[in-house]
Amino acid sequence: MLMSYNTNAEVQELMDRFDWYFLPIANPDGYEYTHTNVNAASGGAYDWAKAVAGIKYSYTYELRPDGNAWNGFVVSENEIEPSGEEVWASLAAVAAEL
């Protein structure tokens, strides 16, 4: 993002509007995530929203997976509420700045 700061107005606006902090991957409840990219995805709906529909801010949330799940983001019942709390807290923080 910083490489585009002087040449891209959207990047400049995002950088100026928010306070940016880079932290190790952590969650309020102590659940540990990995930062590796196991299954890279491209061409998702967020790409279409940005490029075709012209939606200025388009993001994709991926909810916490069960590390032992072979079939994707399957979580046990006790993980549902903490996942929702994490997503809601982040959405509220971003929305408060827009």
Name the pLDDT band for 3 (thresholds 50, 70, 90): confident
Note the pLDDT of residue 52: 83
Among candidate residues 62, 79, 85, 86, the one labeled active-site is 62
Name the pLDDT band for 43 (thresholds 50, 70, 90): low
Residues contacting 34, CB < 8 A, separation 6+: 25
pTM (two decimals): 0.45
Answer for the pair 2, 8: CB distance below 8 angstroms, yes or no. no
Domain extent for 12:
2-97
Note the pLDDT of residue 42: 57
Please say if the pLDDT value at position 10 is more than 80: yes
Cα 90 to Cα 11: distance, rounded to the nearest angstrom: 20
32 classed as catalytic: no
**Count of domains in the chain?**
1
Please say if the pLDDT value at position 80 is more than 80: yes
Name the pLDDT band for 70 (thresholds 50, 70, 90): low
